[in-house]
Amino acid sequence: MDSEPNYDKIGNQIIYYKSSEDMKEVKDSSIDVIVTSPPYNRSKVYSDDEGNVYDDQKSEAEYEALLLQVWSECYRVLSSKGMFFLNIGDSANSQGLSNRIAELAPNAGFFRLQTIIWLKSFLGRGHYTPSGRSRRLNNIFEYIFVFVKDRKKYRMNPQAIGIPYADKSNIGRYAKSDLRDAGNVWFIPYSRTTGSTIKKGHEAPFPIELPYRCIKLTGAKNVLDPFAGTGTTLAAARILDVNGIGYEKFPRKKVIQQRISEHQFFPQPVNLIPHLEQTIYKYVELADNLTFDELLDQNIFSFTKKEYNEIRIVQDVLDNLRQDTKLFTEYFSYFHTHIDKKDLSDKRIELTKFFDKSDPNHT
Ligand SMILES: C[S@@+](CC[C@H](N)C(=O)[O-])C[C@H]1O[C@@H](n2cnc3c(N)ncnc32)[C@H](O)[C@@H]1O
């Protein structure tokens, strides 16, 4: 008889410390969503507590055989309504690798549904590992390939990770609430530098917002990560109060236990809409080195009605992200409180009118 695998159970999360080539602990068709990032086969360091190190420089044939075996197990355990999110990126020296890995999944039975771009940095915001120097541009995105088991049976709910409408007249036209599908480019910057994100012996964790969004999008109740690493997917599952199962062959157990148990709360992820980001940057650029008061003395801002509405959204975004950029928090909250009192039919609304220092509400 087989011996009981070495595992940990933290709340509703189970992590097996063994290879996911064989996931016999998981019943057929019992998983709603798989979110994972495999080893990238490019000399990253994954080592366990005993100092055993995963060989991240396998021959291409050996690497692909490992992944195909794991994807086949994934296919077996996924329910017919289930979805599979596979994150991987190309490095400077391995262009095309991601796509080759994605192409293996249909060999295991999956239908390739679409690709999400995970944008790590936008207009200078967000950390990434520089690789460019003078020979190429830095890589600031990775892929999240999306697969399903049965293309007729799966469903997702884009509004579950949606964003507010810029044009509120769209509410009710496509959806009842003020939430719309944010699309397939996800801006999820690391909250800290990659260096500080890397846990000792375990490179390349993805930010928790990434599995969080995948799980929310599908409304899954049972989640699997066959390459659990530091346990980020299970940490997201724990926050969302859904059952998670992970496999990690080279575990740093303390890191995993901490990651799963400590992530009881993090700011709700918000998709920043690029044109809103640009609005922010436009004003940051204009504000340059000015203090808030100096800024108010300048007559430089005026907004169209559209921009005015956008700024309300930016306010929500900033609230959600708990940004502490004092200037913008003050600035947008002023707008937020005054917007309903003003006549929005005005073609242009001058900022200076709002920032009249005699206004008793302005501190
Ligand atoms: C890119 S990392 C995953 C990082 C993870 N998403 C996180 O946020 O920490 C890939 C992981 O797969 C693990 N791994 C490699 N081969 C494995 C196997 N056969 N079974 C299970 N895990 C394996 C590596 O040790 C590494 O931790």
Is the shortest distance between the CB of 214 and ligand 1 below 6 Å? no
- Provide the residue type at 25 as one letter: E
Q: How confident is the model at residue 16 (pLDDT cuts 50, 70, 90)?
A: very high
3-state secondary structure 249-315: CCCCHHHHHHHHHHCCCCCCCCCCCHHHHHHHHHHHHHHCCCCHHHHHHCCCCEEEHHHHHHHHHHH
Q: Would you mind telling me the total number of residues written for the chain in this entry?
A: 363
> Both tokens of residue 191?
């909250």
- Categorize the per-residue pLDDT at 177 as very low, low, confident or very high, splitting at 50, 70 and 90: confident
Question: Residue 345's CB: how many other CB atoms inside 10 A?
Answer: 6
Report residue 39: phi and psi, to 5°: -60, 145
The SS3 of residue 33 is strand
Å from CA of 206 to ligand 1 middle: 11
Indicate whether residue 259 lines ligand 1 (CB < 6 A): no
CA of 24 from ligand 1 middle (Å) equals 18
Q: Which CATH architecture has domain 7-262?
A: 3-Layer(aba) Sandwich (3.40)
For residue 169, pLDDT beyond 80? no
CA of 266 to the centre of ligand 1 (A): 23
Reported as half-sphere exposure (CB side, CA atoms, 13 A), residue 212 has a value of: 23
Backbone angles phi, psi at 315, to 5 degrees: -55, -45
At residue 31, does pLDDT exceed 50? yes
What pLDDT was estimated at residue 129? 74
Verify whether ligand 1 is closer than 6 Å to residue 247 (CB atom). yes
Q: Is 187 in the pocket of ligand 1 (CB under 6 A)?
A: no
Question: Are 224 and 26 within 8 A, CB to CB?
Answer: yes
CA-to-CA separations, 202 to 21, 60, 190, in angstroms, rounded: 20, 22, 16
pLDDT score, position 236: 93
Q: What is the pLDDT of residues 211-250, one digit of tens each?
A: 999 999 999 999 999 999 999 999 999 989 999 999 999 8
pLDDT band (50, 70, 90) for residue 341: very low
CB of 37 within 6 A of ligand 1: the answer is: yes
- For the CA of 48, the nearest atom of ligand 1: 25
Is residue 207 in contact with ligand 1, taking CB distance under 6 Å? no
Tell me, using a 6 A CB cutoff, whether residue 248 lines ligand 1: yes
CA 174 – ligand 1 centroid, Å: 40
Alpha carbon nearest to ligand 1 atom 16, residue: 249
The best mutation among 45, 46, 191 to test binding of ligand 1, ranked by most ligand atoms within 8 Å of the C-beta, falls on: 46
Q: Give the range among 13-22, 178-187, 229-238 with minimum mean pLDDT.
A: 178-187
CATH 3.40.50.150 residue ranges of the chain are 7-262
pLDDT above 50 for 48: yes
How close is the Cα of 137 to the center of ligand 1, in Å? 28
250 Cβ below 6 A of ligand 1 = yes
At 270-328, the pLDDT tens digits run 444 444 545 554 555 555 554 434 444 454 455 555 655 555 555 555 454 434 444 44
| pTM given for the model | 0.75
Question: What letter would DSSP give residue 21?
Answer: T
Q: With a cut of 50, say whether residue 356 has pLDDT above it.
A: no
The pLDDT, as a whole number, for residue 322 is: 39
Supply the mean pLDDT for the chain. 75
Ligand 1 contact, 46 CB (< 6 A): yes
For helices 274-287 and 326-338, the axis angle rounded to 10 degrees is 110
